[in-house]
Amino acid sequence: MKTRLNSLAACLLMTCGAVLPGFATAGVRVCTFPGSPSTALDQAVTREAFRAAGIAVSLAPGGFNGTDDDGVSLKELGKALGHSCDVIAGFPRSSVADGSDSKLLFSRGYLRAGYVSVSMKDPSAKSAAATDIVAATYASPAQLIAVQQHDVTLDLENTPELTVDALAKGRAQRAIVWYPAVVAYSLAHPQRHFDVVGTASPYADWQLVFAFGPAHAALQQRIDAALAKMTANGTLAALTRQWAMPDTAKAAQPVKDRYAYLDGPVRVAGSSAMALASARLPIRGGNFIKVDATVGGDPPSFDRAQVAHGKSVYAGSCAKCHGAQLQGVNAPALRGPAFAPAANAHLTIGGVFGYMATNMPADRPGKLKSEDYADLMAFLLNSNGYSAGTTKMTADSAKASSTPLNAGPSH
Amino acid sequence: MKARLACAMRPTTLAMGIAVAISLAFGAAAAAADYPAVTYERLTAAQSDPGWLTYYRTYNGQAHSPLKQIDTANVSGLKQVWSYKFPANLKQGFEATPIINGRFMFVTTPKDNVYAFDAVTGKQLWKYEPNLGAESFKTACCDVINRGVALYGKNVYVAMLSGDVVALDAQTGAVVWKKQMFEPGLGYAFSLAPLALDGALVVGSSGGEYGARGFIAALSPDDGSLLWKRFTVPAAGEKNADTWPKGMQDHGGAPAWLTGTYDAASKTLYWGVGNPGPWLADLRPGDNLYSDSLLALDPKTGNLKWHYQYTRHDTWDYDGVNTPVLATIKYQDKDYDAIIHADRNGFFHAIDRTTGKLIYAKTFVTASSVTGYSADGAPIQDESKYPKAGTTIETCPSFLGGKNWWSISYDPERHLAFVPSLHACMSLTGKSVNYMEGLPYLGEGFEIKPEPGSKGYGELQAIDVNTGKKVWSHWTKMPWNGGVATTAGGLAFSGSLDGHLYAFDEATGKVLWESPKLASGIIAQPSVFEVDGKEYVAILTGYGGANPIWGGPMAKAAEKVPLGGTLYVFALNHA
């Protein structure tokens, strides 16, 4: 599904209206959010909004360098804004997003795209299982919402498409999933019919917006004005009709927004985008499906300069508790089997990185620069038998890594 | 070899040599005979014992000695009798309370070494060094510490970070048996002093920060065989399992990491339970029993008689493990057989120990997450103090609590409880998290901040248990992380991070004596004992534990405190 949409995006390249000063003659380059099920809609809204604003546009491929099935990297999105595109369409924003470190600008929302609870319309297609199994997308708001429902067994799936598929194939009785994924699935499988209701959770409510690089405030204002016009004259409603959440779903959404935008009206952050990213993690049996770290591909690459810099950051911020030789003092060792097993580790590079970047160093938790955390991770990996390569590790590539961390001999 | 040659040449010396050998052998035999077996009867009557036989001195948790040779009038003459410096490579926290039986003293060090001393002379009798592998130190949240031994029969018992419970011969240190309760490094650890009951040795697990489902277990003191094991989080299908989302129980934390107390009359074991996992409460809707609760258990089976939950659906790391001390109180003209308890959440509780019903709960530090208790004893909590994934809240007390594990002392004559308390607040930021074996399971970032308007981080306070009100307080800029021991001499002994052991007047809080500056800061509890008619006070120094790791600005405040462990013993009339 995703591949089809992305290749569709790659094929589309259209220009209309006048070229905005400062942009290449091909017009403003608009990418779509990688892997999003709403790509077709995002492109349609892009064409119409830019036409209404009188700005030439070219639709660039949705996939950027450095993003893959392991997750969408906000850093990479930021980088893509400038290299491969000027605007990202279909950027999901939430009122509970963590507003930490993005400098992006955002348009008003053009589609309310929330998390919904979905079941099959045709009862015969439902699974015969006695327990209430709920499918949710791993490491997404769907998981947060699903876990808050009482007396359910979770079936965690890797992508929104697979989450809907789990329901369609009878692996689950219900699915908590992002509504655009339901629409996309229904378009691809017209024989499937779903019942959709809302989920009353602060994590459920999302909007699709355009994201701009920090230098494009003027462009952002023009697109906002165009979207306002499209809302007023009904164009937007017509374009999004197929994608709009049914009233049954809207009704159950939280009546009042409990959380203001933490990131201000035109800024967003990491976790809103990260949270929607799907991780490539297989499913295990049992009631609560745990992360199985036995597969996950290659570890993220890091380079020698990072190891060297990570070593100096370590000496200044970590050695006091973990020891100058990573041997452990009053905090655990960070090398060898006392840090991670030599094989079959149940912890991943991303898991270790996530804990470190949130809670370490203990006297200044989360206060280091994200580059320093990435360099520390490079130093830790190198100290546990991982070789340096030529590509730099980023905080996002480290965090997204589902590769098990097995401690080998030091380098 | 050399001596024998000499003896062979000189018959008289040979004779002398034999005489010396005989007297040495006799001496050893005499010492062996001297070790008084620790029976259940002695433990039940420990209040009148001259020693300090069990972690809290007595089953009731009062840590109050009847000794009064040292009193408010003469304490100023207290002098050091002996000291012992532990190996310099042990730079971690010394948290153990010295345990004394007869003239045998036992202490543990970081990394689970056990030392035996002659309590009067300071002569080292033996040491046991398990030399644990580094895996054992992997899932110790708050330093690689040990809080002390239990005595039963002729054995000394230690529960180790590695999951081993070990019985040592009290006279030789030889291993009698060893039983491993879990594999180290996956989440569990032991850090507590075991509790010896009638034919049972009770231990509880640490690991609330690693998603390790907590348990309390009883072993046979004879061979370590398991008598019972009770998980603190009900399994699917068990009563109260529905206070968790399905599947979240498996890594629900709720450790039982501090020694409990015991009522020999009603045969009830009281044991506190710690925080649920992960920290971020949003991931586990429900009351999350029996996290942050007091359990009343049948000591023969581990079956639950009742429970009382101090904090429900905790997201602030407000462990309920702090000591449940048995006390007879009179509140609003009514007498109660009560449990008194100073909780991490900032409330001082009195609970009816027969029924488990709350008698009163009053704040002893600023508390804004739990704001009060309903008439039926349920905590009232501020919903706005729950972080969501991506939001930040500010609240008090901090995750280290209004009081952490530091033992309180209770003087039944004066009905005063002496409570080392911590004035700190925090911000908490929610983050999504998944369980991974061996990795902390929190889902929250945090930062400690001073309590607004507070005179410092540390306060040793005396609370009248009949009213729940503060009688006096002793403030310090640095946290007060040491336990308290009181005596019938009217004294409260407690040590500070500043490296001094203090004797307070129980009635007024006035400092009547302070030790010379000792080799390090104090985070342990003193013990008071008598040998041959003379009263002694023992204390371990050796800064470490949670504060230097997690204390943020409080760690900064204490960063100049020297590290390393030393054991000190004080008495009157010593030069």
**Cβ <8 Å between A359 and B93:** no
What's the pLDDT at A115?
A: 87
Kindly state whether residue A378 falls inside one of the protein's structural domains. Answer: yes
Find the helix packing angle between A217-233 and A39-53, rounded to 10°: 100
Whose tokens are 């039940």? That residue is B44
**How much of chain A, in percent, has pLDDT values that exceed 70?**
72
What's the pLDDT at A61?
A: 64
Q: Same structural domain for residues A134 and A85?
A: no
Angle B160-B166-B167 from CA coordinates, rounded to 5°: 145
Mean pLDDT in residue range A323-345: 88
> Containing domain of residue A50, as a range?
2-112+206-247+254-276
Residue A373 vs residue A329, higher pLDDT:
A373
Residue A155 φ/ψ, nearest 5 degrees:
-120, 105
Nearest-Cα distance to chain A for B301, in Å, is 29
What's the pLDDT at A97?
A: 53
Q: Same structural domain for residues A194 and A218?
A: no
Kindly state whether residue A411 falls inside one of the protein's structural domains. Answer: no
What's the pLDDT at B414?
A: 98
Nearest-Cα distance to chain A for B23, in Å, is 45
What total of structural domains would you count in chain B? 1
**Cβ <8 Å between B140 and A332:** yes
> Containing domain of residue B425, as a range?
53-571
Of A96, A287, A366, the CB nearest to B445: A366
Kindly state whether residue A189 falls inside one of the protein's structural domains. Answer: yes
Q: Same structural domain for residues A229 and A189?
A: no
Choosing among B191, B233, B436, which should be mutated to test the A contact, i.e. which has the most A CBs within 10 A? Answer: B436
* pLDDT tens profile B108-149: 999 999 999 999 999 999 999 999 998 999 999 999 999 999
Report the 3 state secondary structure along B191-213: CCCCEEECCEEEEECECCCCCCC
**Cβ <8 Å between A355 and B245:** no
Nearest-Cα distance to chain B for A287, in Å, is 5
CB contacts, 8 Å: A98 with chain B: 389-391, 431
* pLDDT at residue B42 tops 90: yes
Q: Burial code of B496-505, b = ≥16 C-beta within 10 A, e = fewer?
A: bbbbbbbbbb
* pLDDT at residue B5 tops 50: no
Kindly state whether residue B6 falls inside one of the protein's structural domains. Answer: no
- Cα–Cα distance, A177 to A249 (Å, whole number): 12
* pLDDT tens profile B354-364: 999 999 999 99
Mean pLDDT in residue range B294-310: 98
What's the pLDDT at B437?
A: 86
* pLDDT tens profile A174-226: 898 888 889 988 888 888 888 888 887 777 888 888 988 888 888 988 999 99
Residue A237 vs residue A18, higher pLDDT:
A237
Which helix (H) or strand (E) covers residue B326, if one does?
strand B325-331
Q: Same structural domain for residues A309 and A395?
A: yes
**Cβ <8 Å between B549 and A321:** yes
Mean pLDDT in residue range B305-318: 98
**Cβ <8 Å between A338 and B138:** yes
Across chain A, what does the average pLDDT equal?
A: 75
What total of structural domains would you count in chain A? 3
What's the pLDDT at B103?
A: 96
Q: Same structural domain for residues A93 and A213?
A: yes
Kindly state whether residue B179 falls inside one of the protein's structural domains. Answer: yes
For B4, how many CA atoms within 13 A lie in the half-sphere containing its CB?
Answer: 1
Find the helix packing angle between B2-9 and B11-34, rounded to 10°: 130
Kindly state whether residue A170 falls inside one of the protein's structural domains. Answer: yes
Kindly state whether residue B65 falls inside one of the protein's structural domains. Answer: yes
What's the pLDDT at A102?
A: 62
pTM of the model: 0.75
Q: Same structural domain for residues A106 and A221?
A: yes
What's the pLDDT at A411?
A: 59
- Cα–Cα distance, A106 to A163 (Å, whole number): 29
- Identify the CATH number of the domain in which residue B206 sits: 2.140.10.10
What's the pLDDT at A173?
A: 87
- Cα–Cα distance, B554 to A114 (Å, whole number): 43
Lowest pLDDT segment from A63-72, A159-168, B291-300: A63-72
Mean pLDDT in residue range A313-335: 93
- Identify the CATH number of the domain in which residue A375 sits: 1.10.760.10
Find the helix packing angle between A39-53 and A2-11, rounded to 10°: 30
* pLDDT at residue A269 tops 50: no
Q: Same structural domain for residues A87 and A159?
A: no
Q: Same structural domain for residues A242 and A317?
A: no
- Cα–Cα distance, A337 to A323 (Å, whole number): 16
Residue B179 φ/ψ, nearest 5 degrees:
-135, 125
Distances, alpha carbon B529 to alpha carbons B120, B420, B457, B485, B537, in Å: 10, 22, 31, 11, 7
Are the C-beta atoms of residues B365 and B423 closer than 8 Å to each other?
Answer: yes
- Identify the CATH number of the domain in which residue A106 sits: 3.40.190.10
Q: Same structural domain for residues A71 and A6?
A: yes
- Cα–Cα distance, B540 to B518 (Å, whole number): 10
What's the pLDDT at A73?
A: 55
Q: Burial code of A30-51, b = ≥16 C-beta within 10 A, e = fewer?
A: bbbbbbbbbbbbbbbbbbbbbb
Which helix (H) or strand (E) covers residue B401, if one does?
none
Strand partners, B571: B79, B536
Kindly state whether residue A67 falls inside one of the protein's structural domains. Answer: yes
Most confident of A254-263, A359-368, B344-353: B344-353
What's the pLDDT at A198?
A: 84
* pLDDT tens profile A245-256: 888 777 555 444
Are the C-beta atoms of residues A185 and A104 closer than 8 Å to each other?
Answer: no
What's the pLDDT at B152?
A: 98
What's the pLDDT at A62?
A: 54
Strand, coil or helix: A60: coil
Are the C-beta atoms of residues B201 and B195 closer than 8 Å to each other?
Answer: yes
Kindly state whether residue A406 falls inside one of the protein's structural domains. Answer: no
Are the C-beta atoms of residues B245 and B294 closer than 8 Å to each other?
Answer: no
Q: How many CB pairs under 8 A join A and B?
A: 143
- Cα–Cα distance, A300 to A310 (Å, whole number): 15
Task: Give the active site residue among B112, B317, B319, B343.
Answer: B317
Q: Which two tokens stand for residue B89?
A: 């490579």
Mean pLDDT in residue range A90-101: 63
Q: Same structural domain for residues A100 and A131?
A: no
What's the pLDDT at A108?
A: 87
In the chain, the amino acid numbered A204 is A
* pLDDT at residue B162 tops 70: yes
Q: Which of B143, B266, B274, B150 is nearest to B206 (CA)?
A: B274
Q: Same structural domain for residues A224 and A107?
A: yes
What's the pLDDT at B434?
A: 82
Mean pLDDT in residue range B302-330: 98
What's the pLDDT at B119?
A: 97
Of A154, A275, A359, the CB nearest to B247: A154
Kindly state whether residue A285 falls inside one of the protein's structural domains. Answer: no
Distances, alpha carbon A117 to alpha carbons A113, A167, A179, B153, B544, in Å: 13, 11, 9, 62, 50
Strand partners, B289: none
Kindly state whether residue B165 falls inside one of the protein's structural domains. Answer: yes
Q: Same structural domain for residues A15 and A153?
A: no
| Residue A148 pLDDT level (bands cut at 50, 70, 90) | confident
Length of chain B: 575
Kindly state whether residue A335 falls inside one of the protein's structural domains. Answer: yes
Residue A410 φ/ψ, nearest 5 degrees:
-70, 155
What's the pLDDT at A363?
A: 86
* pLDDT tens profile B223-250: 999 999 999 999 988 999 999 998 889 9
Which helix (H) or strand (E) covers residue A239, if one does?
helix A235-240
Strand, coil or helix: A247: helix
Mean pLDDT in residue range A155-182: 85
Choosing among B90, B138, B145, B426, which should be mutated to test the A contact, i.e. which has the most A CBs within 10 A? Answer: B138
- Cα–Cα distance, A337 to A335 (Å, whole number): 7
What residue of A is the nearest CA neighbor of B141? A331
Q: Hey, is the C-beta of A308 within 8 angstroms of any chain B C-beta?
A: no
| Residue B85 pLDDT level (bands cut at 50, 70, 90) | very high
Starting at the edge strand found earlier in the chain, the sheet holding B164-169 runs B150-152, B155-159, B164-169, B175-180
Q: Which of B284, B148, B252 is nearest to A146 (CA)?
A: B284
Distances, alpha carbon B226 to alpha carbons B112, B223, B229, B575, in Å: 22, 9, 7, 50
- Cα–Cα distance, A204 to A136 (Å, whole number): 13
Kindly state whether residue B375 falls inside one of the protein's structural domains. Answer: yes
Which helix (H) or strand (E) covers residue A79, if one does?
helix A74-83
- Cα–Cα distance, B313 to B290 (Å, whole number): 10
- Cα–Cα distance, A93 to A208 (Å, whole number): 6
Interface of A with B in 355-384 (CB under 8 A): 355, 358-359, 362-366
Q: Does ipTM surpass 0.85 in this model?
A: no
Asked if B317 is an active-site residue, the reply is yes
Strand, coil or helix: B47: helix
What's the pLDDT at A252?
A: 56
